[in-house]
Chain A
Amino acid sequence: MNDPASPARNRIHGAGGAFERALGLPFFNVAVAIVILYAVFTAITGETFNTVNNQITIMRAAAVFLILGVGQTFAMTTGGIDISTGSMIGVVGAIVGSGLELGWMDPIYAIPSAILVGAVLGAFNGFNITVLGVPPLLATLGTFVAYRGFTQYYMGVNLVTGLPDVVVAVGRATVLGLPISVIVALAIAALGWFVLNRTLYGRYITAIGSNPSAAEATRINVKAITASTYVIQGALAGVAALVLMGRLDSASAAMGEGVELHVIAAVVLGGTYLFGGRSTMIGTLLGVYLIGMLENGLIQTGAGFFVQRIILGLLIIAAVALQLQQRRSGPG
């Protein structure tokens, strides 16, 4: 491809090659969508959308979804899915929240307890999927219902309020103007990216999603690794529960309801394959941001909340359709 006689032509080819490489990135579509929508919302609203404060607001609202999205990316890369994340948040909120309110849990144990409770809930999902052989969608559908039922039974009509400062700080405090919840979410996303892309464990996860039989043949412990992704998801649900409790300074039986669809939509929009084998943590980050930007921007343009739901639904369909087309066309 390189022509020693024509540096200019080589530069053009090089530039074209870089562009083609960009087109092949799994998160290219969502990145383009973000650029376009950002321009549109800025043009329409100008002074209110394109401000640092507003962007921080978007990221603060998106923090919970990003934390959950990292865990969902792990699960989906193995070819699975977890729709019990919202219900897991409810259980963590119920146990940790009531423990703090009633005084049998010291505030310093709030964070590790939330992570531990979440991990146990995730481990139960992992057990059902890998040991009992229940398909992930059905296994987590079962816990979606059961965990929520437990939360409603445990908490009833009670509302936990007046949480300790350490929990409220997780949801509301800022460092140099940036919310701690956003810093935590970005750190988790960075760690998730590193694990998936730079470790053997991450490569095993991708191999399992690409071809479980081949992965097993190469002596990868498919069941253990698959189960571990649900433990990770559960632990991150625990962190997300803390952030949510901190933001609301409360915990109730309805906490976390409905978040799972938002998270799955963000991960799929970001470019992670719904059917496993390909993941992009950067795409998950962008997908979460895109949805948050849509919700924020549509309110600011005066569009009704129903319009938001229609657009989000259509985006999900488009994202999955593009994924399927790319799979048919081959890698890259």
Chain B
Amino acid sequence: MRQLFRRLLVAAALTTAAATAAVAQDKPLRIGFVSHQHDITDLFGQLEIGFREALDAKGIKYELFQAAPTASNRHDEMLNILENMANLNLDYMVFGPSSLEQNTPGLVTVAGAGTKILMVDYEPKEGSSFPFEDAVLNWSVYNHGQMGEATGRWIAEHLKSQGKDSADVIMIWGPIASEISQDRGNGVLKGMEEVDGFTPNIIYDGYGDFQREKAYAEVERALIAYPSVEVIVGMNSVMALGSMSALEADGKLDDVLVTGMGGQPDELEMVARGKIGVAVSRDPRNMGENTANALIMHLEGREAEIPRVLYTALRTLDSVDSIRKWVPKAMLDIDAKLAE
């Protein structure tokens, strides 16, 4: 034990010396990047790429401090992360929540530390106000409800074109009490009901917490309990992929229509291959660029010119052609993917 202790002390001394030597003397911008999940292929990973590219193009030096909780519904972890971020003397923080209400206490702390906040992926409701609002430079968003409505309309019109005026539908929701999931899902229901002559029949509501594995497990169970299912709606890309995999494993992918939302590259590849029917998509790199531009305008003293809410366009992608047309090749070269 004594030897072990001596070795530990030597290791610590060496580590401290190396770390001290490595500390940079420059003072780049300190930027936090906090999201409710982080996957290089999904929204926040691609958004970060767009954000960094825009800052790099302007020659801005920065240090990025990244964090995400272990799951989108771990609001206690997110609060701890935000409180830690508040101690980092950040100049800016990019923040993508799954629930604004439950993250408000943390955002108040960050704002109180003097950090400017750039909100992404969460649309402020019209007329709403927040205690941390003065710290927010910009909201780079899209309307989750509209995303859902576009999906619902597509489902109804697609089935009607096949001669069906109703369908048994399973909804795979995100985390319980997630406003994003609620907006999307309610949008889907509204979109389906708005199409004349079509009546959706919701036979089961499952919860996948925006996770692929959970969605897979939910659909696997649901297929046994509800064999009449005709449509499965995943509230995000990875849940659509999980649902698709469960159907494939059960040999039912040809009988059940799967739809997703978001436009993550793997999801779009499955749309191109005909395994997922549709994915209403937003361009996350464009959102990242918008966020970076707001930051740059603030740096240049042009805060008054920053648009409060900047929407990124939504595209309904249901074919190779639509993907080719609307998805930047840097994000997904669909022809190369299909050739693999």
Instruction: State how many residues of chain B have any CB contact under 8 Å with chain A.
Output: 46
A257 and B175 alpha carbons, distance in the complex (Å): 12
Q: Does the CB pair A258–B105 fall under 8 Å? A: no
Establish whether residues B80 and A61, one from each chain, have CB atoms under 8 Å apart when the complex forms: yes
Which residue of B has the minimal Cβ distance to A152? B176
Tell me if B23 is interfacial: C-beta within 8 Å of chain A: yes
- A43 contacts B19, CB within 8 Å? yes
Q: Is B129 an interface residue (CB 8 A)?
A: no
Contact A159 B19, beta carbon cutoff 8 Å: no
User: Are B15 and A248 closer than 8 Å at their CB atoms?
Assistant: no
What is the bound-complex CA distance between A180 and B131, given in angstroms? 23
Inter-chain CB contacts under 8 Å: number:
118
**Interface assignment of B67: CB less than 8 Å from any CB of chain A:** yes
A159–B101 contact, CB under 8 A?
Answer: yes
Residues 88-121 of chain B, each 1 if its beta carbon lies under 8 Å from chain A, else 0: 1100000000010110110000000000000000
The B36-95 residues at the A interface (CB cut-off 8 A) are 38, 63-68, 70-71, 73-77, 79-81, 83-89
B105 to chain A, nearest CB (A): 6
If over half of A's interface residues share one DSSP class (helix, strand or loop), that class is named, otherwise mixed; here it is helix
**B1 an interface residue at 8 Å Cβ cutoff?**
yes
Task: Choose from A61, A172, A259, A305 the contact partner of B105 (Cβ within 8 Å).
Answer: A172
In the docked arrangement, what's the CA distance between A295 and B70, Å? Answer: 12
Return A210 CB to nearest CB of chain B, in Å. 22
Q: Do the beta carbons of B87 and A53 come within 8 Å of each other?
A: yes
Q: In the complex, A250→B104 CA distance in Å?
A: 10
Complex: chain B residue closest to A151, CB-CB: B176
Q: Are B85 and A299 in contact (CB under 8 A)?
A: yes
Enumerate chain A residues within 8 angstroms of B89, measured Cβ to Cβ: 47-48
Contact A57 B87, beta carbon cutoff 8 Å:
yes
Measured in the bound complex, the distance between the Cα atoms of B77 and A257 in whole Å is 10
Pick from B1, B84, B176: contact of A23, CB below 8 A: B1
- Kindly identify, within residues 106 to 155 of chain A, every residue whose CB is under 8 Å from any CB belonging to chain B: 152, 155
* A57 touches which of B67, B83, B105 (Cβ 8 Å): B83
- Max count, chain A CB within 10 A of own CB: residue among B2, B16, B71: B16
Instruction: Tell me if B20 counts as interface (CB < 8 A to partner A).
Output: yes
Contact flags (1/0) for A28-72 with B, using CB distance below 8 Å?
A: 000010001001100110111001011001001100100000000
Contacts of A51 in B (CB 8 A): 87
- Contacting pair A254 B75 (CB below 8 A): yes
Q: A197 on the interface (CB 8 Å rule)?
A: no
B67 / chain A contacts, CB cutoff of 8 Å: 299, 305
Given that A23-B1, A54-B87 are contacting pairs, would A155 and B176 also be in contact in the complex, using a CB cutoff of 8 Å? yes
Cβ of A75 under 8 Å from chain B: no
Q: Which residues of chain B are within 8 angstroms of A152 by Cβ–Cβ distance?
A: 176, 207
Contact A249 B105 (CB under 8 A): yes
Instruction: Name A47's closest neighbour in chain B (CB-CB).
Output: B89
Give the interface size class of chain A: 35 or more
Contacting residues, chain B, for A254 (C-beta < 8 A): 73-75, 175-177
Set of chain A residues within 8 Å of B38, measured between Cβ atoms: 305
Closest to B16 in A: A43
Q: Which of B12, B76, B88, B182 contacts A40 (CB 8 A)?
A: B12
Which of A54, A64, A252 lies in contact with B75, CB distance below 8 A? Answer: A252
Complex CA–CA separation, A250 to B99 (angstroms): 12
Question: Known: A40-B16, A57-B86. Contact between A252 and B177, CB under 8 A?
Answer: yes
- Pick from A47, A53, A155, A302: contact of B65, CB under 8 Å: A302
The contact string, 1 if C-beta is below 8 Å from chain B, for chain A 299-311, is: 1101011000100
Does residue A244 face the partner (Cβ distance < 8 Å to B)?
Answer: yes
A156 at the interface (CB under 8 A from B): yes
Query: Does A247 belong to the interface (CB within 8 Å)?
Result: yes
Quick one: which of B2, B23, B63, B76 has the most chain A CB within 10 A?
A: B76
Nearest CB in chain A to that of B87: its residue: A54
A247 to B99, CA, bound (A): 15
CA distance in complex: A302, B22 (Å): 14
Interface residues of A in 274-332 (CB under 8 A from B): 295-296, 299-300, 302, 304-305, 309
CB 8 Å contact bits of A60-93 with B (1 = contact, 0 = none):
1100100000000000000000000000000000
Residue B297 CB within 8 A of the other chain: no
A317 to chain B, nearest CB (A): 16
Cα separation A46 to B89 with both chains bound (whole Å): 12
CB distance A44 to B74 under 8 Å?
Answer: no
B249 within 8 A of A: no
Q: Does chain B have a CB within 8 A of A5?
A: no
14 pairs, A vs B, C-beta closer than 8 Å: A23-B5, A32-B8, A43-B23, A57-B84, A61-B83, A161-B101, A248-B76, A253-B177, A256-B76, A258-B77, A299-B65, A302-B65, A302-B66, A309-B70
A-to-B contact residues, CB < 8 Å: 23, 32, 36, 39-40, 43-44, 46-48, 51, 53-54, 57, 60-61, 64, 152, 155-159, 161, 172, 244, 247-250, 252-259, 295-296, 299-300, 302, 304-305, 309
In addition to A60-B83, A253-B176, A254-B176, 17 A-B residue pairs with Cβ atoms within 8 Å of each other are A36-B12, A40-B16, A54-B87, A57-B84, A155-B177, A159-B102, A247-B105, A252-B73, A252-B75, A257-B71, A258-B77, A299-B65, A299-B85, A300-B65, A300-B88, A302-B66, A305-B67
Closest 9 CB pairs of A and B: A254-B73, A61-B80, A36-B12, A252-B177, A159-B177, A54-B87, A253-B176, A44-B19, A43-B19
